[in-house]
Amino acid sequence: MEFIVRAALADESNDGWVWISESATNGIYSRDIVKIKRPGFCAVYAVARIIDKNFREDYDDDPRKRRYQILKDEHTIVMSGWYRDALGGLKTTDCDNITGKAQLEIMRARFWIWRSLRAACSHPDPNVRLGTRLGVLGTWLGFFGALLGVSSSNAFSCNPVLEIWLWIVLFVLAVLSVISCWDAPKPSRGKK
C-alpha cells in the first residue's frame, strides 16, 4: 500500500509509536504493535496510534507553516526520523502528496512476547533498548544458572540425554534472545 509519509512532531520524535491514518488500519487498533516493512529493506516494529481529528488539528496547527497538512481520506503515516532511517532512509512526502510516497506493508505483529521485544529493541530511546536487552540477558542468565545448578546436583545422573536436550534448548534460547534484540540496520551516514 502506498503511504504519504510525514515527519513526527518534535515532542514525539523519541517516542516508540507511529501514527497511521484510519483508512489504512486494516484491523489494527490504537496501541497495537505493528510490523512495518518496506520492500527490499528490514522491518521495524512500533506501537500504532490511529490518526484522529485531535491529532490532525495538533499536527496541522503549525505557527511557522513548516508542516504539510494530513488529509483525512489518504493513507498517511507519521513517523520519526529513527523509523524512517531504519526503513532505508525514507524521505517525507512533498506538499503535492504524490512525490515521495512510500510503498509500505503494515500488519499487526504476532506472537506477543516476540512483538514486544522487537518493538522495545526498535525503540528510538536508547534507555528503552538497553533496559530491554539487559532484561533479556538477565532472564537467560537465570535459566543458565538454574540449569547449571541442577546439572551439578546429580539430578541428571540417570538421564544424561535429558541434560543434553536442556543444554540445547538453552543454546536455542540464547540465539533467539540475540535475534530478538537485534536492531534494524540503519543506512550508512555521510554517503550520498
Q: Which three cell numbers stand for residue 100?
A: 515521495
- 117 or 71: which leads in pLDDT: 117
Q: What is the pLDDT of residue 47?
A: 94
Q: pTM here?
A: 0.81
Mean pLDDT of all residues belonging to the chain: 84
C-alpha cell at 143: 535459566
Using the predicted structure, report yes or no on whether residue 28 has a pLDDT greater than 50: yes
pLDDT at 105: 92
Which DSSP symbol is given to 106?
Answer: E
d(CA 11, CA 109): 26
Q: Determine the CATH number of domain 2-108.
A: 2.40.40.20
Q: Is residue 64 scored above 80 in pLDDT?
A: no
Range with lowest mean pLDDT among 78-87, 102-111, 127-136, 147-156: 147-156
Interacting residues of 63 by C-beta distance below 8 A, sequence separation 6+: none
Report whether 78 contacts 48 (CB < 8 A): no
CB atoms within 10 A of CB 117: 21
* pLDDT, tens digit, 9 for 90 and up, residues 154-192: 766 677 787 788 889 889 988 888 887 877 666 555 444
74: buried, middle or exposed (CB in 10 Å: 19+, 13-18, 0-12)? middle
Show me where the domains of the chain are located. 2-108, 124-180
